[in-house]
Amino acid sequence: MKFYIETLGCQMNVNDSDKMAEFLVANGLTRCDDYADADMVIVNTCSVRFSAEHKAYSLLGRWKEIKDNKPNLVIGVTGCMAQYAAKEIKTRCKYVDFVLGAKDFEKFSKTVKRFLPKTNSSSLHPFTHSPDVFKYITIMRGCSNFCSYCIVPYVRGPEQSIDYNIILDEVKKAVNDGIKEIILLGQNVNSYSYNGVNFTGLLQKISALDNVTRIRFMTNHPKDLSDELIEEIAVNKKICRHIHLPLQSGSNDILKAMNRKYTYEQYETLYNKIKNKIPDINITSDIIIGFPGETDKDFEATFNASRKLQFGGLFIFKYSVRPNTPAAKMGNKVPLEIIKKRHTLLLEDSNIISKKINEKYIDNTIEVLVERYNAETKTAEARNSQNIKVFFDSDKDLTGQVVNVKITKVLPNSMSGKLQ
Ligand code: 5AD
Ligand code: SF4
């Protein structure tokens, strides 16, 4: 029996999908890369923007056509959209076999068991596929920040930190399996707290473990990123030189309406503090364009912030109305035409900035961890500590190794060079 999982949305979902795959493999199923070959297909959904929901429904539409000719096909829907729109999915897509929301993720094994071939427990074999280079480890679930545009606190529930003993066990297992890089996940890792251990404490505990060489984390909230954490990153060389620090808007009026709990000036002070304490850090950010009430002046403030701060990378999202959020009820919606125009203006400008920032790497030889190898094209995909993708040609598969590459070419979001 073969299964296929399509993952939409954030790294948290990638992590949950990995866990589902691990369970299915342990129950004798094999993973396939083409849903047309599968006997069980699962879409792990995202609800952060309307476009992600649309993607899930069109995929389900295509799977229905397959199921018409292959009635035994098991179709499952998991994740955030499955959490808050379970009823709608069940009415719109009657052919779906199970719907399991993000909050009920722990019930996955129970839910799918009835679709799996009967095996006696002794024949269960452990997770055997070759180890990946990095592993996502969820350290917190949910979010209690209630940014006014965001659906996450409603679908994933309140913020909950996971027991650090469980996290440490997961890290130990990962490095024993050959994982080279640990990526800690939470909607706001800066507010991690379990039995008196905060996020800095957790980082210290993880980096003290044998064989842990590289640690990343995401995502941060400017209101909670502490001086103590900045200090720890500065001195702890196992922590990668990258901080994703969503700004969302450069206008104080919009930040207030978004319920972000900081002003642009506070953000800028924090940003400069990080840059001064950790000179080789790469700071990336998220921006939402077209939040209700965003005027030309508000947009100008965001545009100027992007020019002034010079992010290493910027993710720019068009505001998407999410049901039941406070922003959904706000007046002064920005027309889509204006959102598109502002989006293009900022995207073009920020791409020039990111490219210029990457240009400082030209002719430099940098250390990268190889993540993937394409044997057909003989190209390798790697990442440096600053989280920039680096491509290079190689005759050998160097996946999992740290190698030196001399950078010859840069793009806004990636670079390429020669293996040294
Ligand atoms: N519309 C557009 N973008 C959103 N994000 C969250 N909610 C919305 C929404 N309703 C963006 C934020 C967040 C990123 C993960 O997604 O910028 O940081
Ligand atoms: Fe959403 Fe804000 Fe929580 Fe991030 S911090 S998940 S944007 S509510």
Instruction: Please report, for the chain, the start and end positions of each structural domain, with discontinuous segments joined by +.
Output: 2-115, 134-354, 362-419
Which alpha helices (H) appear in 133-258, and where do they start and end?
152-156, 164-176, 199-207, 227-235, 252-257
Burial 62-91 (b: 16+ CB within 10 A, else e): ebeeebeeeeebbbbbbbbbbbbbbeebee
Which among 47, 152, 160, 261 is the best mutation to test ligand 2's pocket, defined by most ligand atoms within 8 Å of the CB? Answer: 152
136, 15 in Cβ contact below 8 A? yes
CA of 46 to the centre of ligand 1 (A): 11
Please give the CATH superfamily to which domain 2-115 belongs.
Answer: Methylthiotransferase, N-terminal domain (3.40.50.12160)
Is there a cis peptide before residue 7, judged by omega within 30 degrees of 0? Answer: no
Q: Say if CB 323 and CB 151 are below 8 A apart.
A: yes
For residue 187 and ligand 2, the question of a CB distance below 6 A is answered with yes
Q: Which protein residue has the closest C-alpha to ligand 1 atom 7?
A: 150
The span from the CA of 37 to the CA of 394, in Å, is 32
For the CA of 143, the nearest atom of ligand 2: 3
Contact 259, 223 (CB under 8 A): no
Q: What is the dihedral of CA 274, 216, 250, 252, to 10 degrees?
A: -80
Which ligand 1 atom sits nearest the alpha carbon of residue 150? 7
Closest CA to 48 of 162, 187, 141: 187
Backbone phi and psi for residue 116, each to the nearest 5 degrees, phi listed first:
-95, 150
Q: At what angle do helices 296-309 and 264-277 cross, to 10 degrees?
A: 10
Domain covering 362-419, topology: OB fold (Dihydrolipoamide Acetyltransferase, E2P) (2.40.50)
- Homologous superfamily of domain range 134-354: tm_1862 like domain (3.80.30.20)
pTM of structure: 0.91
- Please check whether residue 272 is in contact with residue 301, taking contact to mean a CB–CB distance below 8 angstroms: no
Residue nearest to atom 5 of ligand 2 (CA): 145
Burial of 308 (0-12, 13-18, 19+ CB in 10 A): exposed
Cα torsion angle, 55, 56, 57, 62, sign:
positive
Whether residue 143 has its Cβ less than 6 Å from ligand 2: yes
Copy the structure tokens of residue 220.
Answer: 């941060």
Cβ within 8 Å of residue 209, ≥6 positions away: 168, 171, 172, 175
Angle at 173 between CA 167 and CA 175, to 5 degrees: 105
Q: How far is 419 from 211, CA to CA, in rounded Å? A: 25
Per-residue pLDDT of the chain (420 residues; tens, 9 = 90+): 999 999 999 999 999 999 999 899 989 999 999 999 999 999 999 999 999 999 999 999 999 999 999 999 999 999 999 999 999 999 999 999 999 999 888 899 999 999 998 764 433 343 334 468 999 999 999 999 999 999 999 999 999 999 999 999 999 999 999 999 999 999 999 999 999 999 999 999 999 999 999 999 999 999 999 999 999 999 999 999 999 999 999 999 999 999 999 999 999 999 999 999 999 999 999 999 999 999 999 999 999 999 999 999 999 999 999 999 999 999 999 999 999 999 999 999 999 999 999 999 999 999 999 999 999 999 999 999 999 999 999 999 999 999 999 999 999 889 999 999
- Does any ligand 1 atom lie closer than 6 A to the CB of residue 312? no
CB of 188 sitting under 6 A from ligand 2: yes
Say if 134-354 and 362-419 have the same CATH topology.
Answer: no
Tell me the backbone φ, ψ of residue 417, rounded to 5 degrees: -170, -165
Angle at alpha carbon of residue 33, lines to 29 and 34, rounded to 5°: 105
d(CA 5, CA 415): 30
Pick from 188, 224, 254, 319 the residue to mutate for probing ligand 2's pocket: most ligand atoms within 8 Å of its CB: 188
